[in-house]
A and B are shown apart, each in its own frame.
Chain A
Amino acid sequence: MMEKQAVSWVVERHEEIEALINRYPERRSAVLPLLHLAQEARGYLATEDVEAVAELVGMTPSEVTGIVSFYSLLHRQPRGRYTLTLCQNLPCVLAGAEALAQHLRQRLGIAPGETTPDGLLTLEETHECLAACDGAPVVQVNLEYATHMTPEKVDRLLEALRAASQEAAAPDGEEDDAGGL
């Protein structure tokens, strides 16, 4: 057996991790913040991330896996650089969200949950209301809101994302900053 290598975010963000854990009366409570942090570092949660989080909070990896599967914002598979999420709850549907979803599937040639072959974009359609119904139909791009969407506006958004990712051959444009704990 080879010696297990420490996961890079655990080393690089050691102090932040300690502070995070110390915010709570019990270590277990830090599981979501640490999963957010790990996912921010890699873009998704690899097995070694799950194991590292489990060790940090004193759970088994399978417990952490069970937690990850409960939450729709946590992912076990690699994702596109941008995640585009379309709200499909009632106020958005009343404003044309289904036609918008149809348009995007065709334009991107992928189904919800899939990523474009160039790795630019993961498409999601959510039944959860995104709490911005006065701007229906609503889209989130890496959790940033775009409201009153139309097929034309969505096309322009796609163009902008493509341009941004080409420009920033340097790592992480602003929208990639999930900021998050």
Chain B
Amino acid sequence: MAFEPVLTRGIGELDLTDLKVYRAQGGYQALEKALRELAPGDVVQMVTDSGLRGRGGAGFPAGKKWSFLPDDGRPRYLVCNADESEPGTFKDRLLIEHHPHQLIEGIVLAAYAVQAVQAFIYLRGEFLEGYRVLQRALAQARDAGYVGRNILGSGFDLEIVVHRGAGAYICGEETGLLSSLQGGRGEPRLKPPFPAVAGLYGMPTVVNNVETLSCVPHIVARGPEWFRSIGPETSPGPKIFSVSGHVVRPGNYELPMGVPLAELIFEHAGGLRPGRRVKAVLPGGGSSPALTADHLDVPLDFDSVAQAGSMLGSGAVMVLDDTTCIVKAAYVLARFFAAESCGQCTPCREGTSWVARILGRIEAGQGRPEDLEVLKSLPGQMAGRTICPFSDASVGFLSSTLIHFEDEYLAHIERGACQVREVRSA
């Protein structure tokens, strides 16, 4: 059974940003079907049965999230998380810039399913082209009656507002996103209460990732059974993997969930350059612990990657070959986390900048003998004591490489020298 791309089919060949082209590919038929034949609860059931898990990072079952909303008559909101900013991730931008109607259709379907009164797309501020594309597509969809009042004569109303962020990684975290959308600093808040109970403006709110919502039209059109037939039982469906780093052909590859890491790297992304070997792989973006060359047969789905000691996250696969200095890589990521901590929690604010400072001096050959012990003890002090998972995630790569590549840290500290010399490969 050859796998046919689902979410990216036609991208690069057709101008799917044009409503006519999208419709000619069967676009908006799922919405017509749902509004004519299906009750909102039927759509929730289909998505539950499909086994679709969130593509934004946590892998939470989408149908289950939709079922959590309390039925108490308060207005409900749907928010599409289009803040894509996990290092190494560039799949949502592809879907936004090249397949906006698929996303809009998914949003209207999800909003219908949960009976949301309004939907928001929280779009990363840097995505200016994506903003233009979405505005154009939304105008077309409104004119054609797919968005707005009394959609396709069904009596269902939905306005979709594109809300531009303004540069802050933490606004990708759903409660930080909601704080920002409500007009504040993008500071996360403690859960519970979860957004499903008290989200936007304190109302029941569903937050879903761009890729998650883009799956919904296909599930409604082709059925949950079809979706489940792709990939493993517990993480079904197609998945876009953003492959970056030391591969010959970095890019987005849509494949069945559960594709083995080696197949993704060597068959799809063109393998490594001649003579190079895999040293480490971050399978789920900058927040994910490193896998090593021993893990190349790991299937890339939520549960298998977790079992291997890392996380699938957003599906951003960063490949580091044997010319990479691990200490340098850890430092580059640490700098990012130190710059992006929102600062509300002391362990996170102080911890991330401390880690970056120590890694900076080790990398520069000025590490102190006690630095390694300090580095090993910091993650424990930063984990689990904070408002959001950022603090924990910020040390994922560091902790894993202190185990797998301790000798490299030692060489820097003891000899003030890098075994590998340069992170940059020619």
Residues B87 and A90 in contact, CB atoms below 8 Å apart:
yes
Q: Which residues of A contact B126 (CB under 8 A)?
A: 73, 128, 130-131, 140, 143
Enumerate chain B residues within 8 angstroms of A140, measured Cβ to Cβ. 126
Check if B65 is an interface residue, CB within 8 A of chain A. Answer: no
Q: In the complex, are the beta carbons of A74 and B183 less than 8 A apart? A: no
Q: Is the CB of B168 within 8 A of A91?
A: no
User: Is the beta-carbon distance between A32 and B424 smaller than 8 angstroms?
Assistant: no
Q: Which of B11-19, B33-41, B104-112, B243-251 contacts A (4 or more CB under 8 A)?
A: B243-251
Cβ of B258 under 8 Å from chain A: no
Query: B166 contacts A26, CB within 8 Å?
Result: no
Known: A90-B88, A127-B339. A67 touches B185 (CB 8 A): yes
- The answer to whether B186 has its CB under 8 Å from any CB of chain A is yes
Nearest-Cβ distance from residue A31 to partner chain B, whole angstroms:
4
Name the distance in Å between A169's Cβ and chain B's nearest Cβ. 25
Cβ of A72 and Cβ of B167 under 8 Å apart?
A: yes
Residue B128 is within 8 A (CB to CB) of chain A in the complex: yes
User: Does B164 sit within 8 A of A, measured CB to CB?
Assistant: yes
**Across the interface, which residues of A come within 8 angstroms of B246, CB to CB?**
94
Contact A127/B340 with A32-B163, A90-B329, A132-B93 known, Cβ cut-off 8 Å:
yes
Does A98 belong to the interface (CB within 8 Å)?
yes
Residues in B neighbouring A96, C-beta threshold 8 A: 424
- Contact partners of B129 in chain A: CB under 8 A: 144-145
Flag whether B381 is at the interface (Cβ < 8 A).
no
The answer to the question of B425 belonging to the interface, with a C-beta cut-off of 8 Å to chain A, is yes
Least distance between A162 CB and chain B CB atoms (Å): 22
Q: How far is the CA of A136 from the CA of B332 in the complex (A)?
A: 15
CA distance A91 to B118 in the complex (A): 37
Q: Across the interface, which residues of A come within 8 angstroms of B183, CB to CB?
A: 26-32, 57, 59, 67
Q: Is B182 touching A93 in the complex (CB atoms < 8 A)?
A: no
Task: Judge if A25 is at the interface, Cβ distance under 8 Å.
Answer: yes
Please provide the chain B residues from 74 to 119 with a CB less than 8 Å away from any CB of chain A in the complex.
Answer: 75, 84-90, 92-93, 118
User: A179 to B131, Cβ gap below 8 A?
Assistant: yes
B425, A144: Cβ atoms closer than 8 Å: no
Q: Given the complex of chains A and B, what is the CA–CA distance between A72 and B185 in angstroms? A: 12
- B235 at the A/B interface (Cβ < 8 Å)? no
A120 and B181 CA atoms in complex are apart in Å by: 33
Determine the distance from Cα of A31 to Cα of B165 in the docked complex, in whole angstroms: 11
CB distance from B69 to the nearest CB of A (A): 17
Say yes or no: A134 contacts B333, CB within 8 Å: no
User: Do the beta carbons of A24 and B167 come within 8 Å of each other?
Assistant: no
Can you report 20 residue pairs joining A to B where beta carbons are below 8 Å apart?
A25-B75, A32-B164, A59-B183, A66-B185, A70-B342, A71-B165, A71-B166, A73-B126, A90-B245, A90-B332, A93-B424, A94-B324, A128-B336, A129-B87, A131-B89, A131-B90, A131-B126, A134-B90, A143-B126, A178-B128
Interface set of A (CB-CB < 8 Å, partner B): 23-33, 35-36, 57, 59, 66-67, 70-74, 88-91, 93-96, 98-99, 127-134, 136, 140, 143-145, 178-181
Binding site for A on B (CB under 8 A): 75, 84-90, 92-93, 118, 124-129, 131-132, 159, 161-169, 180-187, 201, 242-246, 250-252, 286, 316, 318, 320, 324, 328-329, 332-333, 335-336, 339-340, 342, 423-425
